[in-house]
Structure 1
Amino acid sequence: MFFELIATFAVGIGAAGLALVLGHLSRGRLPRYAAPILAGIAMLIYAVWSEYTWANRTLSTLPESVEVVSEVKEARFWKPWTYVVPQVTRMMVLDRAGVQTNPTAPSILLADIYLFGRWAVPIKRPQLVDCANAARADVSEAALTDPSQAEWITVGAEDPVIKALCQT
C-alpha cells in the first residue's frame, strides 16, 4: 500500500511537471492552475487503474497452474464509477498442480485454495474435496490420515471449488 501511495504521488508530480512544460511551451497561455488540476486528474486516473487491474496483476505473478474459481465484484459509494463497472476486490484461486489424492480414499481430493483480497495478506487454505457428495472440509492432521474424521460441509454441486475440481 505504501508503494502504491508513492507511485500515485509520482504520477501527480509527473503530470504537474508536464503541465509546467506545456505552460512554458505555450508561452504562458496555459493558466497557472493547470498544474495542480492535471496532477489531481492524473492521480485519480492512476488510482482507478490500479484498483481495476489489481486482480490481473496479482494473477500474472502466480504460476500458470492456478485457476480463479471465484471472484467477488463490489461497488462502493465513495467510488461511484464502480456502480457502472464493479471492481474485483477478492478472489479464490485453485492450484491445480498441487491437487493430490489419497490412495485409501481415491474419491477425495486434497487441493490448495488461495484467498486473495485487495489490501489483505493472501491466505492458503488446504481443502479436502469429496466429489461424490459435493462436500468440502478444512484439512486437519486427523483428516489427512482418515478423511472420515474431517468436518465435512455439504456445499452442493454449484460450489466453485466443486465445479472446478469435480466437473472437469
Structure 2
Amino acid sequence: MFWDLVGTVFSGLGAAGIALLLRSLSRKRLPSWLILVFAGAGMMAYQIYGEYTWFEHKQSLLPAGSVVLETHDVKLPWRPWSYLFPQTLEFTVLDQANLRRIEADGEQIVEMVIYRFERRTYDRVAIEPQLLNCQTGDLVPLTEQGQPRLELTTRIELDSRLAQLTCRQDEAINQ
C-alpha cells in the first residue's frame, strides 16, 4: 500500500509537470488550473492501471504448480469504467504441486491447499487446507491442526475444475 501511494503521488507530479511544460510552451496562454487537472488525471490513471494489472501481477508471483481455479470479476458504481471492463478483485488458486493422495477405506482422498486472494485496501490471502473424496465429491475443510471439520462438508461435482485437477491422476491409476 505504501508503494501504491508513492506511485500515485509521482504519477500526479509527472502529469502536472507535463501540464507545466505545455503551459510554458504556450507562453502561459493555457489556464493554470490545467496543472491540477493533469495531476488528478495522472493519479487516477495510475490507480486504474494498478487495479487492472493486480490480477496478472499476483498470478506472475505464484509458484510453479499453482493453478487458478476461478476469478471473481466485479462492476462497481464508484468505478464506472468497470461496467465496460470488469475488474478481477478476487481469485482462487490450487497448490497442485503439493497435493497429497491418501487411500482410506478403498476410496481415494486428496489433501490440498486452496488459496483465496482478495484485493481490498490491502491484499488479503486466505489459506484453506481441504480434503476431497474423489469418488463422492465430498469436500471437507481442515482445522489448523489438520482435523477434518465434518460439519462444514460440501459436495462438488466430479466434473468440476477442482475435481478434475486433483483427481485426474487417481483416475489414471485406477484404470
TM score, norm. by length of structure 2: 0.82
SS of structure 2 residue aligned to 1:122: strand
**Alignment partner, residue 124 of structure 1:** 127
**Alignment partner, residue 158 of structure 2:** 157
Deviation digits for residues 119-142 of structure 1, max 9, x if unmatched?
A: 242111111111211221112434
SS of structure 1 residue aligned to 2:21: helix
Structure 1 pair 5–130 and aligned structure 2 pair: CA distance change class (3 A): same
What amino acid is aligned across from residue 65 of structure 1 in structure 2?
Answer: G
Note the C-alpha offset of 1:67.
0.9
Quote the Cα distance in structure 2 between the aligned partners of 1:163 and 1:72.
20
Note the C-alpha offset of 1:30.
3.0
**Alignment partner, residue 50 of structure 2:** 50
**Alignment partner, residue 109 of structure 2:** 108
Quote the Cα distance in structure 1 between the aligned partners of 2:60 and 2:99.
21
8 Å CA contact 2:107, 2:133 repeated in 1: no
| Identical-pair percentage | 31
Quote the Cα distance in structure 2 between the aligned partners of 1:71 and 1:18.
37
Any unmatched runs of 5+ in structure 2? Answer: 170-175
Quote the Cα distance in structure 1 between the aligned partners of 2:100 and 2:168.
16
Quote the Cα distance in structure 1 between the aligned partners of 2:51 and 2:35.
24
Structure 1 pair 161–32 and aligned structure 2 pair: CA distance change class (3 A): same
Q: Which moved more, 1:158-167 or 1:24-33?
A: 158-167
8 Å CA contact 2:110, 2:167 repeated in 1: no
What amino acid is aligned across from residue 102 of structure 1 in structure 2?
Answer: I
Structure 1 pair 90–158 and aligned structure 2 pair: CA distance change class (3 A): farther
Quote the Cα distance in structure 1 between the aligned partners of 2:70 and 2:164.
11
Quote the Cα distance in structure 1 between the aligned partners of 2:72 and 2:10.
30
Deviation digits for residues 40-85 of structure 1, max 9, x if unmatched?
A: 1111111111111111111111212111101111111111111112
**Alignment partner, residue 61 of structure 1:** 61
Quote the Cα distance in structure 2 between the aligned partners of 1:21 and 1:106.
71
What root-mean-square deviation, in Å, do the aligned CA atoms of Structure 1 and Structure 2 show? 2.2
Quote the Cα distance in structure 2 between the aligned partners of 1:117 and 1:83.
20
Any unmatched runs of 5+ in structure 1? Answer: 144-148
What amino acid is aligned across from residue 43 of structure 2 in structure 1?
Answer: M
